[in-house]
Amino acid sequence: MLAVPKGEVTRPATDGMRQSVFSSLAAVVPGARFLDLFAGSGAYGLEALSRGAVGGVFVEQNPRAVACVRKNIEAVCKSLGREPRDLGVVPMDARSVPLGGGAVPDLVFIDPPYEIVAEVAPGLFAKLAEVLAPKPDAIVVFELPGELDLAPAGWTLLKRLGKGARQPTVAFLRRTG
């Protein structure tokens, strides 16, 4: 069980949604590097790690959530019998994080507060188009409420899990061309 900050600071992905996401990603997770934006408890990135990802970066601005991510990294790495050296935590706003420098991720998990999805998505996808240019097969996994559509220019929707207004859904996207 992952540590989650008290209060309404985070909205962790449900176990069922994470299981569906990782069933869809089963072939690409082993050996992958990830970027977990709006990490919250770190659930998406840590699930990737437990399924064979080699490392990644968690980006979260809330200090209590950052402390939980660090605690969760220690616990998951201990249970996996591995060192956390290929994992990083960047305590800043995912909207302004410099997405360059370091290894280019194979998977990007984005799980922002639902009320800011429409506001942050265009800027994030513009940055990710540059960052992911060396890896045209990189996949962005974006959690959003079911009533919203996500169709950023230059990106192809590969799949969408979940349905229904006011229900969590996940969109899988890849850069076009």
- Written as one letter, the residue type at 65 is A
Please, what is the end-to-end C-alpha distance for the chain in angstroms?
40
Q: How far apart are CA 111 and CA 174, in angstroms?
A: 16
| Structural domain contains residue 2 | no
Beta bridge partners of 34: 56, 107
Domain containing 162: what range? Answer: 15-24+31-175
Q: Please list the pLDDT of the chain residue by residue as tens digits (177 residues).
A: 676 766 555 555 566 778 889 999 999 999 999 999 999 999 999 999 999 999 999 999 999 999 999 999 999 999 999 999 899 999 999 987 766 667 899 999 999 998 999 999 999 999 999 889 999 999 999 999 989 989 899 999 999 998 777 788 999 999 996
Q: How far apart are CA 104 and CA 135, in angstroms?
A: 7
CB 51 within 8 A of CB 22: yes
| Structural domain contains residue 7 | no
Number of domains in the chain: 1
- Which residue has 């188009």 as its token pair? 129
Task: Kindly report the CATH number assigned to the domain that includes residue 53.
Answer: 3.40.50.150
Global confidence as pTM: 0.91
| Structural domain contains residue 92 | yes
Nearest residue to 124 (alpha-carbon basis) of 135, 115, 111: 111
| Structural domain contains residue 140 | yes
Show the DSSP H helices in the chain as ranges.
15-24, 43-50, 63-80, 117-131
Q: How far apart are CA 66 and CA 13, in angstroms?
A: 16
